[in-house]
Chains A and B, each alone.
Chain A
Amino acid sequence: MSTTIPMSITVDGERHDLAVDPRTTLLDALRERLRVTTAKKGCDHGQCGACTVLLDGRRVLSCLTLAVAKDGSHVVTADGLATDDGLHPVTEAFLAYDAYQCGFCTPGQICSAVGAIDEARRGMPSAVTADLTGEVTLDRTEIAERMSGNLCRCAAYVNIVSAVEDAAHGTAPRSSTLEAQA
């Protein structure tokens, strides 16, 4: 066991002080040490997106991030997106469009979508942006490309794109469009 290094990190608004083995990834620190299990481990090698969190506002893969390297940073997981006004519009849209099935990739998808919408608002292009110097319009093709770093084996892709499309354009129907549950 190597010596541990003290660090602090704010997760979903709560500050934590802890000491970590330098080998500990941000994902393992969240899940095993801080018991924040809302970020999921699908591959541990950057190949699926299930561990996506917002790190200081940008979407990243927590499985390929060393915890010690992120001392002092702010992490938001799918659980921390809600505000006093209720669920985040992207979260609402995922519910409304049934943009998930087993739900395992979902927290990562939602963090990724929040990041992707923000990137598009900031004018960042993608591989399918026809005119690299022009404006970015988040149409279905753009969304699918920007969300491709999040695999969904249940293949909820069609609904994920619909959810992101509506959330991005502020037209997400609230859950009331589907009969609310018990």
Chain B
Amino acid sequence: MTTMDARSMGASVRRIEGPDKVTGTATYAGDTVADGTLVLHPVQATVARGEITAIDTAVAEALPGVVAVLTHRDAPTLGDTGDPEHRVLQGTTIHHRGQFVAAVLAEHAEVAAEAAGLVVVTVDEAPSTTGFDPDGEAYAPSALANGQPADSGAGDPDAALAAAPVVVRASYATPMEHHNPMEPHTTTATWVDGRLEVFEATQGVESSRQTLATLFDVEVVVHASHVGGGFGSKGLHAGTVLAVLAARTVPGRPVRFALGRRQMFEAVGYRPATLQHLSLGASHDGRLEVVAHDVVGATARYKEFVEPAGGSTRSMYAAPHRRTSHRAVPLDLDGPTYMRGPGEAPGSFGLECAMDELAVALDLDPIELRVRNEPEVHPENGLPFSSRGLVECLRTGAERFGWSSWDRAPRRRLVDGWWHGVGVGCGTFPTLRFPGSTAEITFTGGRYVVAIGAADIGQGARTVLTQIAADALGVDVTAIAVEIGSTQVPVGSIAGGSAGTASWGSTVVEAADRFRDKYGENPDDGDHADAATPDNPWAGEYAMAAYVAQFAEVAVHADTGEIRVPRLLGMFGVGRILNPTLGRSQLQGGMVWGLSMALHEESVVDPRFGEVINHDFAGYHVASNADVRRVEAEWIDEDDPYVNPMGAKGIGEIGIVGVAAAIANAAYHATGVRVRSLPITCDDFLTSGLLSP
């Protein structure tokens, strides 16, 4: 087995749509301009649970400029997608605060907003539970969000823990977090002649098309040439359904619905809170006897999603006795969903902090502890790894970071009033390939037009697919024109699971092979070939995943407890990097997400009102430019011929994994204060009594 030869792959080709983006002329879903566009403003539930008993729309309807007010009374019955979130205006039951219960359609945004405030909704409120209580009513889910079993294990972990010479037991909490892509979820929909055309902020045009076609039983075309970030939140949510319901009432006129930032805290999903109980037992020389990771996480009562926080613990370290379990606490909130590194991001906080605590208990270097517990084969399913660069990442990363220059004892470096320390955290993310794409290659005007319904959400799909196609066809990138982001080109799977490039890329390579088989090196104008995503023949033979070792330097102010991260280094084992510049951007971006998760992000639900109370960018902090100092993403050389022809593992999510743990571990090293709950803020140190020198 070998990976394909790279000429363009591996080069820093500039983003193809770059000039459009830097001048602002790239068109996102809300940027289409057409005469007569109407603006939608929703009316939302202000209680978490209840029944609507009356809706009075008269005053709103009478406002000049209002075109229509939609309620459940006049909404058509929608087709069944199996997703309760899609059942918009289908009845009187309120499942969560912020649920869309009506909508105003008007000529101008100011009028739509004003009229929405004039719709009177009368509700019979029912008792609700919206605050996450890990000791609350919980159930054993039938599966995790990624389809894997909720529980797994081997040996007798409890007995092994009782017998282990060194044991660490600790609980780690991660909060609810919201994706907050910078582009709000936006739909511009036009219903004309029994056909629906939608410009949509989506991570998958085809999956959006299918959902809308099922709901409305109509021919659907979806476009998403540019998407302003998604991070898991840009599947098809209720807002899109609402916009299409509205468009249906005004045939021929485009309807635009761009969510407000506050609405993005109640209608497009989030990462649910977890409490993770970690139990590690080891011999005195640092060999793990037992790893147990028991997760209690929030889910929504009306829509289950169980964050697979214990998932990566199943493959990280060797130990004869092991257990992972997941229990779900149902809440009357909107549904959680995938958020960058779903499972891996919060789960690595638990496992990797516990590993650090074990290293302290053993008086062993935390890097050495991990090296000693490197598995030969996948610890749970026994498959060999297609490649596994974790130990090399740890070693080369430590070298580059200057790890050995730091005294391992905590609270040793006080510089200009700041305690400094370093920490490490590791992570993995599975290498996936989604079936179901089709790539079509047409030779026209001297160029190869490569069409596949992929989505570029900022990860660089358009550019990287160009490079892959160039190499697969053996031509220069200038001879390739990639067409993506629409259902008017062949089907593409979603941009998710860090699998976009692998899935679309494998399909493009297959189509290129067929094209060359059919037409050789000198095709005629109009020659074309297509191919569906090939299965990976090695899928059941190897365990395939990306790995990372994250290193953090942290500074904590000795008087105020303020915490800063002067330095982050991620050393990645992610197969072949197809475009170093874009790849580095993607990995660094993920690492900053990890920093943001470690220090800033937390959605605070006020159970008295059933809503996230810090529902804007002033209340829900994401890292700003000043929070980010040195962030370096580097990678080891890794040739993995089994994952896909390009040899590329996904890089969209691995960047965030392990960062929060590295920062928490560094904060402990800096101050001696162990923080087991995210985000880490000044109060954690102020109340420790350990601060001032």
Interfacial residues, chain A to chain B (CB-CB below 8 A): 1, 21, 23-24, 28, 31-32, 35, 37-45, 47-48, 50, 77-79, 81-82, 87, 91, 94-95, 98, 100-107, 110, 128, 143-145, 147-148, 150-161, 175, 178-182
Contacts and interface: CB of A to CB of B under 8 A. Distances in A.
Contacts of A37: 24, 27, 30-31, 33
A78 B14 contact: no
Contacts of A110: 22, 24
A81 B13 CA distance: 25
A11 to B, nearest CB: 12
A32 B586 contact: no
Given A21-B108, A38-B25, A107-B23, A102 B181 contact: yes
A28 B479 CA distance: 40
Interface of B: 11-28, 30-31, 33, 39, 63-65, 108-111, 179-184, 226-229, 231, 258, 260-261, 457-460, 463, 466, 477-481, 581-582, 584-586, 588-593, 596, 616-618, 622-626, 628-629, 631
A78 B625 contact: no
Contacts of B631: 157-158
Nearest to A155: B592
Contacts of A180: 14
A44 B12 contact: no
Contact of A148 (B22, B63, B625): B625
Contacts of B460: 101
B625 A160 contact: yes
B462 to A, nearest CB: 10
Q: Which of B65, B460, B593, B626: most chain A Cβ within 10 A?
A: B626
A182 B22 contact: no
Given A28-B109, A40-B24, A100-B458, 10 more contacts: A1-B108, A41-B30, A47-B616, A95-B14, A101-B229, A101-B585, A103-B21, A105-B182, A178-B12, A181-B15
Nearest to B63: A1
User: Closest 9 CB pairs between A and B?
Assistant: A38-B24, A104-B228, A102-B458, A103-B21, A107-B24, A155-B592, A101-B458, A47-B617, A37-B31
Contact of A102 (B180, B226, B582, B616): B226
A101 B458 CA distance: 4
Q: Dominant SS at the A interface?
A: loop
B603 to A, nearest CB: 15
A78 B23 CA distance: 5
Contacts of B596: 155
B481 A155 contact: no
B64 A1 contact: yes
Given A95-B14, A157-B592, A106 B261 contact: no
Contacts of A107: 22-24
Contacts of A48: 182, 261, 617
Nearest to B630: A158
A24 B111 CA distance: 10
A153 B478 contact: no
Given A37-B33, A95-B22, A154 B589 contact: yes
25 contacts: A1-B64, A32-B39, A40-B24, A40-B228, A41-B30, A42-B617, A48-B617, A87-B19, A91-B23, A102-B182, A103-B228, A104-B229, A105-B228, A106-B24, A145-B626, A153-B231, A155-B590, A155-B592, A156-B589, A157-B592, A157-B625, A157-B631, A178-B14, A181-B463, A182-B466
Nearest to A81: B23
Contact of A43 (B17, B20, B24, B261): B261
Contacts of A44: 260-261
Contact of B588 (A21, A151, A155): A155
B109 A32 contact: yes
Nearest to A35: B33
A153 B624 contact: no
A98 B585 contact: yes
A39 B625 CA distance: 20
A148 B183 CA distance: 18
Contacts of B261: 42-45, 47-48
A82 B592 CA distance: 31
Contacts of A77: 24
Contacts of B19: 87, 95
Nearest to B470: A182
B539 to A, nearest CB: 30
A182 B33 contact: no
A153 to B, nearest CB: 5
B618 A45 contact: yes
A129 B30 CA distance: 39
Given A32-B109, A104-B228, A155 B628 contact: yes
A158 B111 CA distance: 41
Contact of A79 (B18, B25, B588, B628): B25
Contacts of A45: 261, 616-618
Contact of B22 (A24, A78, A143, A145): A78
B628 A104 contact: no
B30 A103 contact: no
B477 to A, nearest CB: 5
Contact of B183 (A21, A40, A87): A40
Nearest to B655: A155
A91 B64 CA distance: 43
B81 to A, nearest CB: 27
Contacts of B21: 100, 103, 106
B337 to A, nearest CB: 16
Contacts of B20: 103
Given A44-B260, A157-B592, A175 B14 contact: yes
A78 to B, nearest CB: 4
Contacts of B16: 181-182
Contacts of B616: 43, 45, 47
Q: Which of B28, B31, B65, B182: most chain A Cβ within 10 A?
A: B182
A102 B229 contact: yes
Contacts of A182: 16, 466, 477-481
A95 B18 contact: yes
A167 B626 CA distance: 19
A132 B110 CA distance: 43
Given A45-B616, A178-B14, A153 B180 contact: yes
Contacts of B108: 1, 21, 24, 32
A156 B585 contact: yes
B625 A101 contact: no
Contact of A47 (B22, B65, B618, B625): B618
